[in-house]
Amino acid sequence: MIKVEAVIKPFKLDAVKDKLNEIGIKGLTVTEVKGFGRQKGHTELYRGTEYQVDFLPKVKLDIIISKEMEDQVVSAIVNTAQTGKIGDGKIFITDLKEVIRIRTGDKGKEAI
Amino acid sequence: MKKYKRSFIFILQLMLLMLPSIVMAEDEPTTGQIQTNLNFVWTLLAAFLVFFMQAGFAMVEAGFTRAKNATNIIMKNLMDFSVGSLAYWAVGFGVMFGVSSTGWFGTSSFFFSDFDKDKDLWVYAFWMFQVVFAATAATIVSGAMAERTKFVGYLLYSAIVSMLIYPVFGSWAWGSLYKGSGWLEGLGFIDFAGSTVVHSVGGWAGLAGAIVLGPRIGKFGKDGQSKPIPGHNIPLAALGVFILWFGWFGFNPGSTTVGDTSIALIAVNTNLAAAAGAVFAMLTAWCVYGKPDAGISLNGALAGLVAITAGCANLTPFWSVVTGAIAGVVVLFSIIFLDKIKVDDPVGAVSVHGVCGAWGTLAAGLFNAEKMFDMKIVGVQLLGIFACFIWVFVTAFIMFKIISATVGLRASEEEEREGLDLSEHGAVAYPDFSVSTH
């Protein structure tokens, strides 16, 4: 089992969620985050003074899948979340030790 | 000697008694002057109440839209009043109330040019009252065009609506209140405080703007289904509605511009219609959606207020309740209808002000206390309703198209996604919170 973490632009969330649903992913967790990479922040104005804001709002998805689905899920996210402009985001993939469903106590693949 | 002394003392006492009235004869006002002073005080007090409605509109619009656009909403509301005031002083007031040889628009009183300031101070009080009405019409449009309008385009609109679109129709219905005369009022059109003159004008201009702009990104899905874009602060919207309700006690009773007992009935009618509107909108939403919806109920109160504005002086309290109740039902179905024809009106401005303004004007004819359901009066009301729609919608549509083709009317996709606060004004309204995620 693997965990796919994807940091994407906020307005892409609905499109990515719909696409993942299409390929059979029925659950995910979303967090609102701030960050920057190559995309620079912007300058804001407050009562006549400029100041730099480095962090940009993004959205992070956590998706748990079995190893076989990895390529499908990655291309689904990349194709849907891409705009071609700087700041599209990144995907991180890690191995997962265990998954447990709280309601029933299921473990492993059944719990996904 | 004693006899003369007594007479002398008597005359002295007489003179002392007369002294106060001799000394004060110059200062004591006549009852006519007292009434005039009262008229000034009442009219101006009412004008100040209507001014406060600007805060009401700003809060309603901010509450029903997203946080990332809150600064933009505030700026639009601040400026449609400020730019509008200047424009109405310069041109608008003259067009609306200046001498009108044709009955279609005025041609004097620009910049207060034709009044004698040593003699007639009433024009100041009257202008003060009228400018806040003009500003009310102007600010209605801000809600219908929220979250995707370029600020520069909106500033231009504010000037044009206050100088031309609002005052021309206003002159038709109210011109004779000062120096003008209007063809519509000559036919007996009833619109005491402006269901059509103010609210429908704002509503139809807003409709034109919303159509020219197009819907917000994400409002209608790929297969055309409507997606809600929830407002960021319902308590703020509610505060706005309460402020508007409060200010309406200047809007309607103040339109007498005379301080006398007639303002009592007008105030009662206003309150009852608002209450009926709120209750019936809530009940309708409860039936249609299964829950008493706050946003609809709030809009219902406003719908009732807009509707009673035409007939507040010539309806009985019972028929004011009926007028408000019907407005509360109509407003929800109007919102649903506009959604169905893919017009995106973020705060329901077109439904509350345009549609319910038309209903209220009709109701003022139907439920006219002196002559109920008189078809001749109703006919004139309908004529006024349609004349307003045609004049306002057509001129506003053309104006927005021209603005769109020149300085631009709609913000770019990226500006809209990021939030107009940042792109138009360089600063967000809520720096402490992350607000641009939807």
pLDDT in tens, B86-133: 999 999 999 999 988 888 898 888 888 877 766 678 989 999 999 999
pLDDT at B322: 98
Interface of A with B (CB under 8 A): 10-11, 14, 32, 34, 42-46, 57, 59
Q: Give the minimum alpha-carbon distance from B286 to chain A in angstroms, rounded to a whole number.
A: 30
pLDDT at B4 over 80: no
Structure tokens at B274: 């608002």
3-state secondary structure of A12: helix
Domain range annotation of chain B: 36-425
Contact A44 B422 (CB under 8 A): yes
Kindly report the three-state secondary structure assignment for every residue of chain B.
Answer: CHHHHHHHHHHHHHHHHHHHHHHHCCCCCCHHHHHHHHHHHHHHHHHHHHHHHHHHHHHHHHHHCCHHHHHHHHHHHHHHHHHHHHHHHHHHHHHHHCCCCCCCCCCCCHHHCCCCCCCCCHHHHHHHHHHHHHHHHHHHHHHHCCCCECHHHHHHHHHHHHHHHHHHHHHHHHHHHCCCCCHHHHCCCCCCCCHHHHHHHHHHHHHHHHHHHCCCCCCECCCCCECCCCCCCHHHHHHHHHHHHHHHHHHCHHHHCCCCCHHHHHHHHHHHHHHHHHHHHHHHHHHHHCCCCHHHHHHHHHHHHHHHHHHCCCCCHHHHHHHHHHHHHHHHHHHHHHHHCCCCCCCCHHHHHHHHHHHHHHHHHHCCCCCCCCHHHHHHHHHHHHHHHHHHHHHHHHHHHHHHHCCCCECCHHHHHHCHHHHHHCCCCCCCCCCCCC
pLDDT digits (tens, 9 = 90+) for B289-326: 999 999 999 999 999 999 999 999 999 999 999 999 99
CATH number for region B36-425: 1.10.3430.10
Nearest beta carbon to residue B426 from set A34, A44, A59: A44
Domains along chain A with CATH numbers: 2-111 (3.30.70.120)
- Give the residue from A13, A17, A44 with the most B CB atoms within 10 Å of its CB, the best one to mutate: A44
Contact A34 B434 (CB under 8 A): yes
**Angle at alpha carbon of residue B344, lines to B248 and B351, rounded to 5°:** 35
Please report how the helices B317-340 and B356-366 are oriented relative to each other, as an axis angle in degrees rounded to 10: 150
DSSP H or E segment with residue A56: strand A56-65
Contact A45 B431 (CB under 8 A): no
**Which whole number is the average pLDDT over B381-385?**
97
Tens of each residue's pLDDT in chain A, 112 residues = 999 999 999 989 999 999 999 999 988 999 999 888 887 778 888 888 888 888 888 999 999 999 999 999 999 999 999 999 888 999 999 999 999 999 999 999 889 8
Lowest model confidence (mean pLDDT) among B23-32, B300-309, B360-369: B23-32
Q: Give the minimum alpha-carbon distance from B203 to chain A in angstroms, rounded to a whole number.
A: 31
The CA distance from B212 to B72, in Å, is 19
Q: Identify the closest residue of chain B to A10 by CA–CA distance.
A: B437
Contact B425 A45 (CB under 8 A): yes
Structure tokens at B312: 């507040």
Name every chain B residue with its beta carbon within 8 A of the beta carbon of A59: 437
Phi-psi region of A63 (alpha: psi -120 to 50; beta: other; left: phi over 0): beta
Q: Identify the closest residue of chain A to B428 by CA–CA distance.
A: A44
Contact A44 B437 (CB under 8 A): no
Name every chain B residue with its beta carbon within 8 A of the beta carbon of A57: 434-437
Name every chain B residue with its beta carbon within 8 A of the beta carbon of A46: 427, 431
pLDDT at B20: 58
Name every chain A residue with its beta carbon within 8 A of the beta carbon of B427: 44-46
Please report how the helices B375-405 and B356-366 are oriented relative to each other, as an axis angle in degrees rounded to 10: 160
Name every chain A residue with its beta carbon within 8 A of the beta carbon of B429: none
pLDDT at B22 over 60: no
pLDDT digits (tens, 9 = 90+) for B60-94: 999 999 999 999 999 999 999 999 999 999 999 99
Cβ(B138)–Cβ(B162) under 8 Å? yes
Q: Give the minimum alpha-carbon distance from A74 to chain B in angstroms, rounded to a whole number.
A: 23
